Structure 1
């Protein structure tokens, strides 16, 4: 990379895809050659964890803050929140977001009605350009895949018939990178894939004949209720493999423009895979998705990064990483100093990306405050490499008990567990507004 050029940053986040889905992590149910190749040429992380649902993760990712500081509700980000879009734009970067927004309004009408349409609009999120699904409205947000409803720089597209949402986002990103190749740029690609509805992709034999549900054909249900729609989990394989292909198109564009060595690309998942989808690891171990659950199946996600010439090839990192760490990391890579009053709970893992020793975490903190009135329960807990302590005092050895079936109570602690509890329990008192 030229010494006088700040690096480009491309941050890609898949939707509803856990650690077990990627081939290089041991997954054998899906072909993911692009991500496997990124890991071989760059770095992959064994212990990256995020929140169990998308909104909590996205807010942490975009602000570097734990959710107790700034969580309003599902599908809502505070309208005055300063995001990495603002920070990178203010630092002179060209900035773009393409993909899923869904942070202005989402809570169903009978839940928190006072919070409807109170979140941040895409226009106020700090990006120079945007091309997104679900920018403002809720009930009529429409398809994100075939025949999608896409909002681009202030207007809805009227030419998306027979087009596929993820391709539209990727095309926009590639055009943005080409137009701004001579300037440092920041691209945030919160992918629509692989979230429900589970549908054919353009590579599926059924795609041409597939008609996505419309607001008129949902049998009285709204698009909000598609989480309960009886769609087909078999399409999850097609969606995982198509999402890998789309990421390859973005990476290939960087190479075509001759700026791959000037660009840090980070890929991460936003939570675990859908609970109705079971995948196989190492050809024999079945792992069912844990989206919405606080066990590791709900939080353990793939984290892969490439930066040719800067990240050593084939580096595997075991340090703990959580979703608050991404903002300080990309700011560190770009040489951006946050405003003096900007609070970040995360810490940079740029040294670890480079194969060096960094400021390694001893623990990760989770404040999980999901959508109201739904099955997911509020939880606060702290996780180390081996143990997980909840604020109700339940302690689990997650290496021996990953499904958290047998909690240790303080009265039954041995010396090791007592020391862990003494180290972690006081942290809860620090995690308050």
Structure 2
């Protein structure tokens, strides 16, 4: 019988806060309650942005420490753009099953906030929303799309403080002198910095709900364009320069992002909840195209918006003292996998016949054998249209594993040898190996297209 390290199951066999479980030597934490879950997602950061992944351009000590003391994934992927990833992340479904248009989430969707509320969690979201309305009023076709998405109050979160919750033209700044919607009230803070407001909001929520199991989703604004000074930048001292735009500020933004993560983690420590809190750090897509970062393997150009590794290969760090052993995992992870993973961590795994696309990587986190196989491939339906400033993008449907990437066009790439995907392998040039790979991944494309058509 499989030993799931569920704190809920552990209630039946433990009376202390930290005890051994079912014959294993690893302790479980705070067995008298479900674990807290904190999911932090950077906005526009590929793996080259963190020191723990070999990055050299930016100091990221807080995230590097989380990685050193937790599990770092080497094959986590996202969609190439933020709204595409966030839709998959929050619903556990591929984009072709529920995509309407850019910056719009169907208000009938069930998010991971709803799921966790239903199993007893207090829920909080703070940071960036951009899922209720996106097109400006003068954009062709906007009249059919504006304001039709999900409002934060309906998204499964008891508390929210979010930038870009209303129309695009009303969003204001996400950085200096920020504007955001907080529990139904539109707020502005002259002279302040948006990311500081959201960290303070999250930390106050955790303080308030420390006696209850809580779920915090922190979709960060950092380090997304516009590239502005942070409070740690020299130019912040001049209020007239706080909204200046220049790629040279990107370094400051990445480092302030790391600082924000550190403040949230420190609050969890201060509340004495660290050993009963699963912290996940992820990113929604690759780094901005204008940024080139230095790494141990040479310079890496940002690939946001591209379906290659530069646009989709992102950091994933999981930290849970006593439950997650330090190390590196080569497991494939997709953005649809977070919802089932967090439900299993909460002690309420989805039923085996669930209709979502995600596969729980919880057994990978806690080192348990699983009766279900690891994810063998990632399917991607990527088309961010329609939407303001998205017309220059095109549709890409593909399937991939750790090494190979096959598009529905028939182009196959050996990502291990051709990370920028500049040398397509066509069927006419197949070797026995690539022919077998093509057949396997083509079957994935066919099965996913058929299954998703069936549920629409």
TM-score by length of 2: 0.88
Counterpart selection for 1:180 from 176, 201, 209: 209
In the alignment, which residue of structure 1 is the partner of 2:174?
A: 144
TM-superposed deviation, 1:212: 7.0
Q: Which residue of 2 aligns with 1:36?
A: 64
Structure 2 residue aligned with 1:257: 271
**Does the aligned pair in 1 maintain the 2:62–2:261 contact within 8 Å?**
yes
The CA deviation at 1:237 is 0.2
What's the offset of the Cα at 1:211?
3.8
- Alignment partners' CA distance in 1, 2:130 and 2:352: 29
Q: Give the one of 369, 375, 386 matched to 2:403.
A: 386
Out of 81, 84, 101, the residue aligned to residue 129 of structure 2 is 101
Shift of 1:117: 1.3
Q: 2 CA distance for matches of 1:72 and 1:339?
A: 27
- C-alpha change, 1:371 and 1:107, in structure 2 (3 Å) is farther
Residue 112 of structure 1 and its aligned partner are, at CA, apart by 3.5
Aligned to 1:243: 257
Check if 1:197 corresponds to 2:240: no
Q: Given the superposition, is the C-alpha separation of residues 111 and 22 from structure 1 closer, same or farther in structure 2, using an over 3 Å criterion?
A: farther
What does 1:263-274 correspond to in 2, within 5 Å?
263-274=277-288
Measure how far apart 1:427 and its partner are: 2.0
RMSD, matched Cα? 1.7
Superposed displacement of residue 361, structure 1? 1.6
Distance in 2 separating the partners of 1:305 and 1:103: 26
**1:320 paired to 2:332:** yes
Deviation at 1:2, TM superposition (A): 2.2
- Structure 1 length-normalised TM: 0.93
Cα deviation per residue 1:24-63 (whole Å; 9 max; x = unaligned)? 1000000000000001111110010000000010010001
Check the 8 A contact 1:146/1:212 in 2, yes or no: no
Quick one: distance in 2 between partners of 1:296 and 1:349? 21
User: What runs of 5+ residues in structure 2 fail to find an aligned partner?
Assistant: 1-28
* Counterpart in the other structure of 1:398: 415
Query: In 2, are the aligned partners of 1:143 and 1:212 still within 8 Å (CA)?
Result: no
Deviating more after overlay: 7-16 vs 375-384: 375-384
Write the deviation string for residues 100-151 of structure 1: whole angstroms up to 9, x where unpaired: 0000111344244211211111111011010111112111211001110011
Q: Aligned ranges for residues 24-423 of structure 1 at < 5 Å?
A: 24-108=52-136, 109-113=138-142, 114-158=144-188, 160-211=189-240, 231-282=245-296, 285-313=298-326, 315-338=327-350, 343-358=355-370, 359-372=373-386, 373-423=390-440
- Counting matched residue pairs gives 415
Would the alpha carbon gap of residues 210 and 285 (structure 1) be closer, same or farther in structure 2, given more than 3 Å must change? Answer: farther
